[in-house]
Amino acid sequence: MPTRRLYYDDAFQKEFTARVMHCEILPPDVNSGITANVWGLLLDRTAFYPTSGGQPNDLGKIGDANVLDVRDEGDEILHLVDRKPSDPDVFCCIHWPRRFDHMQQHTGQHLLSAMFQERFGLPTVSFHLGSELSTIDLRGPEPAEEILEGAERAANQIIFEDRPVNVRYGTADQLSELGVRKEVEREGLLRAIEIESADLQPCGGTHVKRTGQIGLVLVRRCTKVRQDWRVEFVCGGRAERIARHDFLLTRRVADLLSCAPDDLESAASKAIVERDAHFKNARAHLQRLAEAESLLALQATTPDSRGLRIFSCVFRGMSSEYIGFFATEPAKTEKTIALLASEDGSLLFAQNPSAGSDMAQLIKQAFEKFGGKGGGTRDFARGKLADPSQTNAAVAFALERLSAHGN
Ligand SMILES: [Zn+2]
């Protein structure tokens, strides 16, 4: 027996009584986030909206049972609940804030889509009502900022005019005579939603009574998704919350930058320019420091019996950039080798060509023994150990090999 859909004629019915026609236990459905056994209920009539047409299902209570999901099964509507109602005659109530939110978003979508179509020739090819944001996909050329703003403004104008939103019934032919653009494949009597003098759409969803109840439409981002343009928007209570959130965010960032909200853009640009200049400056200082420390270290290193100066060091708390700068000086100094590392396991082996060793070979041997990746040339090689705790051992190993081989 088909379920009577009370929401078709009165989308504002929040409570109703019904009779349980069928009740069976269903296995968990992990895909729907249902991890325990649930009960599937068919009622003789229902005001619960099932997931369909882009609008998510309602939640609420059927007797003492909590509604977990509502599904459209052709003629019947299946309610998934967490327990079997104790009585076959049930008092039901819909979680109204959720439903009203869905009605604001859905009616707002009809209106916004109509404005994109009518004013800018951009048809809506799909609609999704999400838990935070809703989206429509527009087909056609990329909508410029003025088009997004123009559609938003036109939709809000119709909201301010508080026009009636009517439910109409008719055959596909009758509806197309009335101006329905969309091709409808279903047979028989169809339901359509009319926003007076603005839009007529075949739709089984729940809608507000007048455009004023949409409150406000705010268009957000527009991004390309495959061949279409996905426009994010919010209506009603969501628009209120997001506007408040944006304001607080703006104010907090303005406080951080010690400026008025209107000066945020110039203050942020200035901060970025300063940051870049400081970065450049700090890098130059780092280079000078590394070079100076490198010179001191070289002066303190005594040449061995072959006349080779071999300097080794594991740096603590210095970046790999510092080590790179540090290596420049030994590489310029006759018969000098530097085995440098930082405590994160980065290795840098550099030599002056006159030292006559092979840094690429040496670092390869170190990685073979301790594990890690890297490489380079005869005079300059770098890489990183897989295990930073091996850094000291790896440097000691390289030093050992240089002394042992005498080259
Ligand atoms: Zn709709």
Task: Report which of 80, 81, 104 is spatially closest to residue 165, judged by C-alpha positions.
Answer: 104
Instruction: Give me ligand 1 centre to Cα 227, in Å.
Output: 22
pLDDT digits (tens, 9 = 90+) for 330-353: 999 999 999 999 999 999 999 999
Residues 6+ apart with CB under 8 A from 289: 322
Find out whether 301 and 311 touch, Cβ atoms under 8 Å.
yes
Instruction: Give me ligand 1 centre to Cα 366, in Å.
Output: 67
Query: From CA 314, how far away is CA 100, in angstroms rounded?
Result: 65
Task: State the pLDDT confidence band at 103, using cuts at 50, 70 and 90.
Answer: very high
DSSP 38-60: EEEEEESEE-PPPBBTTBPPP-E
pLDDT digits (tens, 9 = 90+) for 82-92: 999 999 999 99
How many C-beta atoms surround the C-beta of residue 398 within 10 A? Answer: 23
pLDDT digits (tens, 9 = 90+) for 118-150: 999 999 999 999 999 999 999 999 999 999 999
Query: From CA 313, how far away is CA 333, in angstroms rounded?
Result: 17
Q: What is residue 216's predicted lDDT score, i.e. its pLDDT?
A: 98
> Parallel, antiparallel, or unpaired: how do β-strands 309-315 and 336-342 relate?
parallel
Q: Examine the pLDDT at 37 and tell me if it is beyond 90.
A: no
299 Cα distance to chain centroid: 55
Instruction: Give me ligand 1 centre to Cα 34, in Å.
Output: 27
Residue whose pair of structure tokens reads 């030994």 in the numeric block: 330
Percent of the chain with pLDDT over 90: 86
Instruction: Give me ligand 1 centre to Cα 193, in Å.
Output: 7
Q: What is residue 183's predicted lDDT score, i.e. its pLDDT?
A: 66
Query: From CA 311, how far away is CA 358, in angstroms rounded?
Result: 15
Query: From CA 156, how far away is CA 150, in angstroms rounded?
Result: 10
pTM (predicted TM-score): 0.79
Instruction: Give me ligand 1 centre to Cα 254, in Å.
Output: 40
Query: From CA 40, how far away is CA 196, in angstroms rounded?
Result: 39
Instruction: Give me ligand 1 centre to Cα 13, in Å.
Output: 19
Find out whether 304 and 404 touch, Cβ atoms under 8 Å.
no
pLDDT digits (tens, 9 = 90+) for 354-385: 999 999 999 999 999 999 999 999 999 999 99
> Parallel, antiparallel, or unpaired: how do β-strands 190-195 and 346-351 relate?
unpaired
Find out whether 358 and 339 touch, Cβ atoms under 8 Å.
no
Instruction: Give me ligand 1 centre to Cα 283, in Å.
Output: 58
pLDDT digits (tens, 9 = 90+) for 162-212: 999 999 998 888 888 887 866 666 677 889 999 999 999 999 999 999 999
Interval 260-279 mean pLDDT = 96
Q: What is residue 405's predicted lDDT score, i.e. its pLDDT?
A: 60
Interval 14-37 mean pLDDT = 87
SS3 of 244-260: the string is HHHHHHHHHHHHHCCCC
